[in-house]
């Protein structure tokens, strides 16, 4: 299900310090800049896993997906819009039916994690034992099982 | 052209791969090794890299010890049965006893987990809990990034080879690779390395043929680098003959677990028969595993495969019956079930939602085809290929223990996730946990082994030249032909991949061979893949993107060759439904309830294959 970029909406992420965000995020090195058009483009659509990482991140909402030509008939679309704490998905069927769903993604503000908060393990004395960092607080049972 | 500059980074612990295992390893190693320099290297960006980058709709490995749901012993019994008798019980137990702490931490960091009215986690099956998991990976990556510091994360660097110590080929010393987005060779010198990179998709010819080959069931970014990096330096591997053949919704490869376990749907053939009922007797051929509850995954595949082979398809998941039953005629209930059903795909396999929408499939009205996919070689899900590692001190018998938990047979080289063999059913949470376990162990190793590793500069220079060679080869020979894809001096990485997939499909029991092979067929496959391995030294790449693909197919080919050689060694059919040896069609517990291990000896270009005992530790 390869992604494609709407040339009328893509602005090459002008002003984004990471550069074009689809190019930045693509896990398979597919999204690249077409230097003549100065727009994002999927350079290897047959290795696109439709993960939607670029679609979700695009600040212009300029990236869409056209289903895999091997087995996806034309006419449908599945597209997310970011909302507070989650995504709203619009699913359009080939026959015109339309569904909309909103699901949460994250319960905490982005950037708020605190890796070792309230961990009580002793970095020297507990290094030899079997317990992992924070397990005295987070394992859920008092004692780590063993055989 | 010319070789680009070489930049060297020195560190105490190098984590290769920033997926779930890698993020777990990074997080844990900076706690115990507060004073150590820990580096993560990833070919992409850790917020969306690895097999869970797209998201997940469930955590599939959770004991619920605090609720009294399961013990690690229960988990071992389940996993060993599902693997038809072969798994390392020490390693499986180790993941099981720790995994709950990882899940609770992920929730603390922001992962939304479905809850029952009493506040307990909702359950899908015995080990599975549903999540709103679209952002599982960014939620996991954030504390890892904070722990090691952004200056220690090298993204868009693809590791191609591991480096061993100048004075001891059995001691890890680091890794080498190249910049995917800049002309640079990167050398990492490390006291310990934690291998957390991926298992292998696209080793076998996929059912799809064009754009759809990106829609592999396991992540298309998982290129077998865990194996392709460890095998060439002589790391002992185990169970590389094992594979996973997923039963999934056809073509989009959307997950079925929620449908079977949460919605209680069943699959019917074209005659309206349920193979779990009509093929029940077939299970008696595979005792004691045939009577295990639940029926092991390969045996359920096998039952369905018999229907397909007899021409009784298509096989349909009766989503319609299941949803109507759950809703019981109540439109509000149907709305809730519909919302849950679509979320299962939209959280993790969006292509399946598109496939349904494009084919006008509303699951409450229309059943949906399921299929047996092409095989995958991996170690974290229902596959168990990977390195032979030491178990933990308090669980492992002497046969499974050599000083540091999760250390491979190469000193200082640790593994987790897809890289650890004989320890399946970890999934996302268990892989994260195994990364943590490997990391704590690696910290102890670094603190107890302070002698500084030495890089072999001629090894580094030779590898640097070979990494860059496909670009040089293209440049040197492009004038020979007017068509860049047709040249007698090189093959493109895409051509190499297609050759690999054809060999594996036809000789190693892929879909077109009906998952069936035999000794002479495997020997022929090995002869052909040996020539492919030679030809991979003559790849041509037009740019760095193609250079990335060149090294991915090298890693996939090592994986495929190991698979062929292990298949040849195991003279039985242990996992019907995954593959069949036509010359040894039966399960043989008397002779073959053993692990098959291999070591590649680079100096002699030889594979040494052996067996290791299966030991029952959990009664």
pLDDT score at B105: 98
The DSSP result for B180-214, as a single string, is: SSSSEEEEEEEEEEEE----BSSSSPPS--SGGGG
CB contact under 8 A, B53 and A2: no
For chain A, first and last CA: distance in Å? 48
Q: Is 90 exceeded by the pLDDT of residue A34?
A: yes
pLDDT tens digits along A72-131: 999 999 999 999 999 999 999 999 999 999 999 999 999 999 999 999 999 999 999 999
C-alpha–C-alpha distance, residues B23 and B436, integer Å: 8
Give the residue from chain A lying closest to B42, CA to CA. A27
CB contact under 8 A, B110 and A107: yes
Residue A136 DSSP class: H
Q: Is 90 exceeded by the pLDDT of residue A17?
A: no
Q: Is the pTM of this model over 0.90?
A: yes
CATH, domain range A1-72: 3.30.70.20
A104 interaction partners in chain B (CB closer than 8 Å): 112, 132
**Exposed, middle or buried, B534 (CB in 10 Å: 0-12/13-18/19+)?**
exposed
Give the residue carrying structure tokens 């319960």.
Answer: A107
C-alpha–C-alpha distance, residues B83 and B60, integer Å: 16
C-alpha–C-alpha distance, residues B342 and B355, integer Å: 12
CB contact under 8 A, B47 and A32: no
Q: Is 60 exceeded by the pLDDT of residue B294?
A: yes
pLDDT score at A19: 87
Q: How many CB atoms lie within 10 A of CB A94?
A: 17
Closest-CA distance, A115 to chain B, in angstroms, reads 5
Determine contact, residues B156/B180, Cβ cutoff 8 Å: yes
Chain A interface includes B393 (CB < 8 A): yes
Give the residue from chain A lying closest to B62, CA to CA. A139
Supply the angle between the helices B20-32 and B427-448 in degrees, to the nearest 10.
40
pLDDT tens digits along B446-459: 999 989 999 999 99
CB contact under 8 A, B395 and A147: yes
Residue (of B168, B211, B177, B207) closest to B41 by Cα position? B177
Let me know whether B360 and B441 are in one domain: no
CB contact under 8 A, B210 and A69: yes
Closest-CA distance, A132 to chain B, in angstroms, reads 7
Half-sphere exposure of B228 (CA within 13 A, CB side): 27
Which of A23, A68, A82 should we substitute to test contact with B (largest number of B Cβ atoms within 10 Å)?
Answer: A68
C-alpha–C-alpha distance, residues B495 and B559, integer Å: 17
Let me know whether B167 and B130 are in one domain: yes
Q: Which 197-256 residues of chain B touch chain A by CB within 8 A?
A: 208-216, 219-221, 251-252
Determine contact, residues B405/B245, Cβ cutoff 8 Å: no
CB contact under 8 A, B215 and A49: yes
Q: Which of B346, B372, B398 is the last residue of a domain?
A: B372
pLDDT tens digits along B378-433: 999 999 999 999 999 999 999 999 999 999 999 999 999 999 999 999 999 999 99
Residue (of B9, B377, B379) closest to B191 by Cα position? B9
The enclosing H or E element of B175 equals: strand B168-179
The DSSP result for B11-26, as a single string, is: EEEEEE--SHHHHHHH
Q: Is 90 exceeded by the pLDDT of residue B493?
A: yes
CB contact under 8 A, A28 and B220: yes
Q: Which of B325, B344, B372 is the last residue of a domain?
A: B372
CB contact under 8 A, A108 and B109: yes
CB contact under 8 A, B351 and A44: no
Let me know whether B561 and B508 are in one domain: yes
Let me know whether B543 and B464 are in one domain: yes
| Bridge partner list, B517 | B581
A29 interaction partners in chain B (CB closer than 8 Å): 43-44, 156, 180, 545, 548
List of residues 6+ apart from B12 with CB closer than 8 A:
B33, B36, B37, B38, B190, B191, B192, B446
What ipTM was reported for this prediction? 0.97
CATH number for B148:
3.50.50.60
Let me know whether B437 and B464 are in one domain: no
List of residues 6+ apart from B310 with CB closer than 8 A:
none
C-alpha–C-alpha distance, residues A36 and B355, integer Å: 34
Closest-CA distance, B346 to chain A, in angstroms, reads 8
Q: Is residue B80 situated within a structural domain?
A: yes
pLDDT tens digits along B552-607: 999 999 999 999 999 999 999 999 999 999 999 999 999 999 999 999 999 999 99
Q: Is A142 left (phi over 0), alpha (psi -120 to 50) or beta?
A: alpha
Closest-CA distance, B618 to chain A, in angstroms, reads 8
B44 interaction partners in chain A (CB closer than 8 Å): 26-29
pLDDT score at B479: 97
Residue B1: pLDDT band by 50, 70, 90 thresholds? low
Determine contact, residues B485/B492, Cβ cutoff 8 Å: yes
**Exposed, middle or buried, A142 (CB in 10 Å: 0-12/13-18/19+)?**
exposed
CATH number for B337:
3.90.700.10
Let me know whether B393 and B319 are in one domain: no
Which of A33, A48, A51 should we substitute to test contact with B (largest number of B Cβ atoms within 10 Å)?
Answer: A51
Q: Which own/partner pairs from B344-347 qualify as long-range (CB within 8 Å, at least 24 positions apart)?
A: B344/B57, B344/B254, B344/B255, B344/B258, B344/B259, B345/B57, B345/B252, B345/B254, B345/B255, B346/A78, B346/A80, B346/A87, B346/A89, B346/A101, B346/A103, B346/B134, B347/A103, B347/B55, B347/B56, B347/B57, B347/B131, B347/B132, B347/B133, B347/B134
B4 to each of B138, B398, B548, how far by Cα in Å?
A: 33, 47, 16
A45 interaction partners in chain B (CB closer than 8 Å): 211, 214
Which of A19, A70, A123 should we substitute to test contact with B (largest number of B Cβ atoms within 10 Å)?
Answer: A70
C-alpha–C-alpha distance, residues B240 and B225, integer Å: 14
List of residues 6+ apart from B297 with CB closer than 8 A:
B82, B244, B382, B577
Residue (of B312, B304, B227) closest to B266 by Cα position? B304
Q: Give backbone dihedrals phi and psi of B6, rounded to 5 degrees, phi first.
A: -110, 125
CB contact under 8 A, A71 and B93: no
B18 to each of B44, B56, B195, B434, how far by Cα in Å?
A: 8, 17, 10, 13
Residue B288 DSSP class: T
Chain A interface includes B463 (CB < 8 A): no
pLDDT tens digits along B126-168: 999 999 999 999 999 999 999 999 999 999 999 999 999 999 9
Let me know whether B461 and B549 are in one domain: yes
Which of B141, B358, B494, B551 should we substitute to test contact with A (largest number of A Cβ atoms within 10 Å)?
Answer: B358
Chain A interface includes B59 (CB < 8 A): no
SS3 B47: coil
Give the residue from chain B lying closest to A142, CA to CA. B66
Q: Is residue B338 situated within a structural domain?
A: yes
B217 interaction partners in chain A (CB closer than 8 Å): none
CB contact under 8 A, B443 and A127: yes
Give the residue from chain B lying closest to A92, CA to CA. B357
Let me know whether B386 and B419 are in one domain: yes
pLDDT score at A18: 84
C-alpha–C-alpha distance, residues B513 and B517, integer Å: 7
Domain containing B461 equals 457-610
C-alpha–C-alpha distance, residues B44 and A30, integer Å: 11
Chain A interface includes B70 (CB < 8 A): no
Which of A115, A118, A124, A146 should we substitute to test contact with B (largest number of B Cβ atoms within 10 Å)?
Answer: A115
Q: Is residue B617 situated within a structural domain?
A: no
Closest-CA distance, B142 to chain A, in angstroms, reads 7
Q: Which 466-525 residues of chain B touch chain A by CB within 8 A?
A: none
CB contact under 8 A, A101 and B138: no
Per-residue tokens: A71: 């087995």
B443 interaction partners in chain A (CB closer than 8 Å): 127
CB contact under 8 A, A69 and B359: no
The DSSP result for B478-506, as a single string, is: GGG-SSTT--TT-B-HHHHHHHHHHHHHH
For the sheet with A77-83, list strands across it. Answer: A77-83, A86-92, A98-104
SS3 B596: strand
B358 interaction partners in chain A (CB closer than 8 Å): 67, 72-76, 93-94
Let me know whether B17 and B129 are in one domain: yes
Give the residue carrying structure tokens 């990482």.
Answer: A53
Chain A interface includes B542 (CB < 8 A): no
pLDDT score at A15: 86
Q: Is residue B307 situated within a structural domain?
A: yes
Residue A131 DSSP class: P
Count of domains for chain B? 3
Residue A28 DSSP class: T
Sequence length of chain A is 147
Query: What does the mean pLDDT of chain A come to?
Result: 96
Residue (of B171, B185, B169) closest to B466 by Cα position? B185
C-alpha–C-alpha distance, residues A133 and A128, integer Å: 12
Angle at B253 between CA A78 and CA A46, to 5 degrees: 70
SS3 B160: strand
Residue B270: pLDDT band by 50, 70, 90 thresholds? very high
A134 interaction partners in chain B (CB closer than 8 Å): 31, 101, 105
Nearest to A78 among B107, B212, B357 (CB): B357
Query: What does the mean pLDDT of chain B come to?
Result: 97
C-alpha–C-alpha distance, residues B80 and B255, integer Å: 23
Domain ranges of chain A: 1-72, 73-141
Closest-CA distance, A51 to chain B, in angstroms, reads 5
Q: Which of B341, B372, B403 is the last residue of a domain?
A: B372
Let me know whether B215 and B294 are in one domain: no
Let me know whether B493 and B605 are in one domain: yes
The DSSP result for A30-99, as a single string, is: -EEEETTTTEEEES-GGG-----HHHHH-TT--EEE---TTT--TT-EEEEEEETTEEEEEEE-TTS-EE
CB contact under 8 A, A46 and B346: no
Residue (of B580, B573, B555) closest to B225 by Cα position? B555
């Amino acid at each position: 299900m390869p992604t494609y970029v709407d040339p009328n909406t893509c602005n090459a992420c002008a002003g984004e310090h990471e550069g074009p965000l689809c190019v930045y995020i693509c896990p398979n090195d597919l999204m690249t800049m077409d230097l003549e058009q100065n727009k994002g483009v999927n350079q290897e659509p047959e290795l696109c896993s439709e993960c939607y990482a670029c679609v979700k991140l695009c600040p212009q909402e300029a990236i869409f997906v056209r289903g895999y030509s091997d087995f996806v008939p034309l006419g449908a679309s599945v597209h997310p819009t970011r909302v507070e704490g989650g995504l709203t998905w619009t699913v359009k069927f080939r026959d015109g039916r339309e569904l909309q769903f909103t699901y949460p993604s994250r319960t905490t503000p982005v950037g708020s994690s605190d890796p070792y908060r309230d961990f009580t393990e002793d970095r020297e004395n507990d290094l030899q034992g079997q317990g992992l960092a924070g397990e005295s607080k987070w394992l859920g049972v008092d004692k780590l099982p063993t055989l | 052209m010319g070789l680009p500059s070489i930049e060297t980074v020195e560190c105490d612990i190098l984590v290769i791969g920033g997926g779930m295992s890698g993020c777990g390893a990074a997080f844990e190693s900076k706690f115990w090794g507060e004073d150590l320099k820990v580096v993560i290297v990833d070919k992409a960006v850790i917020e969306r890299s690895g097999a869970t980058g797209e998201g997940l709709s469930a955590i599939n490995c959770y004991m619920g010890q605090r609720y009294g749901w399961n013990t690690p012993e229960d988990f071992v019994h389940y996993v060993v049965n599902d693997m038809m008798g072969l798994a390392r019980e020490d390693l499986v137990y180790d993941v099981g006893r720790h995994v709950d702490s990882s899940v609770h931490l992920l929730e603390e960091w922001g992962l939304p987990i479905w809850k029952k009215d009493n506040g307990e986690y909702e359950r899908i099956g015995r080990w599975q809990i549903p999540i709103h998991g679209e952002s599982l990976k960014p939620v996991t990556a954030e504390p890892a990034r904070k722990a090691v510091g952004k200056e220690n994360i090298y993204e868009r660097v693809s590791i191609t080879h591991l480096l061993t110590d100048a004075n001891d080929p059995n001691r890890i010393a680091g890794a080498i690779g190249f910049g995917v987005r800049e002309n640079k060779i990167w050398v990492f010198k490390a006291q310990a390395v934690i291998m957390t990179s991926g298992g292998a998709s696209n080793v076998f010819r996929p059912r799809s043929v064009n754009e759809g080959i990106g829609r592999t069931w396991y992540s298309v970014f998982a290129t077998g680098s865990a194996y392709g990096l460890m095998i060439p330096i002589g790391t002992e591997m185990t169970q590389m003959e094992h594979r996973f053949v997923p039963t999934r919704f056809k073509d989009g490869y959307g997950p079925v677990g929620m449908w079977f376990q949460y919605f209680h749907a069943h699959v019917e053939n074209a005659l309206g028969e349920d193979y779990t009922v009509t093929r029940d007797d077939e299970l008696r051929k595979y005792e004691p595993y045939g009577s295990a509850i639940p029926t092991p995954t390969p045996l359920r595949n096998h039952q369905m495969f018999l229907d397909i082979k007899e021409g009784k398809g298509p096989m349909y998941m009766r989503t319609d019956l299941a949803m109507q039953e759950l809703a019981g005629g109540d439109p509000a209930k149907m709305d809730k079930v519909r919302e849950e059903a679509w979320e299962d795909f939209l959280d993790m396999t969006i292509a399946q939602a598109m496939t349904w929408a494009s084919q006008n499939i509303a699951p409450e009205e229309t059943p949906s085809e399921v299929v047996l996919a092409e095989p995958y070689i991996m170690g974290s899900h229902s596959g168990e290929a990977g390195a032979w590692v030491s178990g933990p001190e308090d669980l492992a018998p002497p046969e499974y223990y050599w000083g540091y938990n999760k250390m491979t047979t190469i000193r200082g080289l640790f593994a987790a996730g897809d890289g650890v063999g004989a320890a399946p059913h970890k999934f996302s949470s268990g892989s994260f946990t195994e990364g943590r376990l490997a990391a704590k162990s690696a910290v102890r190793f670094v603190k107890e082994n302070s002698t500084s590793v030495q890089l072999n500069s001629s090894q580094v220079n030779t590898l640097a030249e070979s990494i860059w060679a496909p670009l040089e080869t293209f440049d040197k020979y492009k004038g020979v032909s007017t068509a860049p894809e047709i040249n007698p001096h090189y093959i493109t990485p895409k051509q190499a991949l297609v050759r690999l997939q054809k060999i594996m499909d036809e000789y190693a029991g892929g879909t077109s061979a009906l998952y069936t092979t035999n000794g002479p067929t495997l020997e022929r496959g090995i002869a052909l893949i040996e020539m492919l391995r030679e030809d991979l030294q003559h790849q041509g790449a037009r740019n760095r993107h193609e250079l990335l693909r060149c090294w991915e197919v090298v890693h996939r080919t090592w994986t495929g060759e190991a698979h062929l050689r292990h298949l040849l060694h195991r003279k039985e059919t242990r996992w019907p439904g995954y593959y069949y040896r036509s010359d040894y069609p039966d399960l043989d517990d008397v002779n073959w309830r053993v692990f098959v291990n291999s070591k590649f000896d680079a100096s002699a270009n030889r594979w040494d294959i052996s067996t290791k005992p299966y030991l029952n530790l959990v009664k």
